[in-house]
């Protein structure tokens, strides 16, 4: 019985996600769903991506959080349109919330839409939003064993960004093993090593994203 309920929720979500994708394509908007655990650096990564690409694309942002508009306020300072979704307790964004947010964004004036999902390494992976790309940010202080513990998230994404590489001298984290593990469980994922604090590696990510948009 429980399984049936879950199927119904996911089925309804898929239908709305497909509608979101239609609306995005009608407006020529490329959409990226950014997922990660709390504090991995999603907002910092959104800011770095805006900085790297704002001369080339008109960017919009959807911020997902259980509560507060802290991240939306931070991103709005970059002068891009932002909508904050508060889930009120849910640990992930769903397609219906994105549908609502899309109705509140100037889609005709956006080429690239970045969605910051709710900080969580499990639930967001189960819900398609209508996005073109799913990106996971893993960060050095979380440890290099996370692909084994949260496999769905790591196997679902199109790109894996290892953030906070500036902390590598201080934290036990084997980058080579981590990369090897990702390649084993998700061979198609592009892997980027970045520091959102120093800006290291961001240009490689921006270049790849640009190529995907075109
Ligand atoms: N050293 C270091 N700190 C970073 C880096 N990127 C982000 N941080 C710090 O990590 C903390 C969390 O960053 P956020 O960008 O807010 O992370 P988030 O994933 O958006 O967090 P939530 O939205 O709360 O889940 C902040 O103190 C950032 O300054 C990095 O590359 N290196
Ligand atoms: Mg954030």
Confidence check: pLDDT of 4 > 70: no
Q: Whose CA is nearest to atom 30 of ligand 1?
A: 164
Residue 2 has pLDDT above 80, yes or no: no
Residue 133 maps to which CATH number? 3.40.50.300
Q: Which atom of ligand 1 is nearest to the CA of 167?
A: 1
Residue numbers of the domain that contains 128:
2-213
Number of domains in the chain: 1
Rounded to 5 degrees, φ, ψ at 50 are -60, -45
pTM recorded for the entire structure: 0.96
User: Best mutation site among 34, 36, 43, 63 for ligand 1, i.e. most ligand atoms within 8 A of its Cβ?
Assistant: 43
| pLDDT bracket for residue 10 (50, 70, 90) | confident
Name which residue leads in pLDDT, 62 or 6.
62
| Burial letters 37-75, b for 16+ CB under 10 A, else e | beebbbbbbbbbbbebbeeebbbbbbbbbeeeeebbebb
């Amino acid at each position: 019985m429980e399984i049936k309920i879950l199927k119904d929720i996911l089925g309804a979500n898929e239908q709305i996600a497909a509608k979101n994708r239609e609306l995005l394509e009608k407006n020529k908007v490329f959409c990226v769903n950014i997922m990660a655990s709390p504090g991995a650096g999603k907002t910092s990564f959104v800011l770095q991506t805006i900085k790297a690409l704002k001369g080339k694309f008109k960017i919009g942002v959807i911020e997902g959080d259980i509560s507060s508009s802290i991240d939306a306020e931070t991103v709005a300072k970059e002068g891009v349109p932002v909508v904050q979704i508060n889930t009120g307790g849910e640990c992930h964004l769903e397609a219906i919330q994105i549908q609502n947010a899309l109705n509140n964004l100037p889609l005709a004036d956006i080429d690239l839409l970045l969605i910051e999902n709710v900080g969580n390494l499990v639930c967001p992976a189960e819900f398609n939003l209508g996005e073109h790309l799913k990106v996971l940010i893993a960060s050095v202080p979380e440890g290099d064993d996370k692909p084994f513990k949260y496999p769905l998230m790591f196997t679902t994404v199109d790109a894996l960004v290892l953030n906070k590489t500036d902390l590598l001298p201080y934290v036990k984290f084997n980058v080579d093993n981590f990369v090897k593990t990702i390649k084993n469980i998700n061979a198609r994922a592009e892997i980027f090593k970045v520091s959102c604090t120093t800006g290291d590696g961001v240009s490689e990510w921006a270049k790849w994203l640009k190529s995907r948009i075109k």
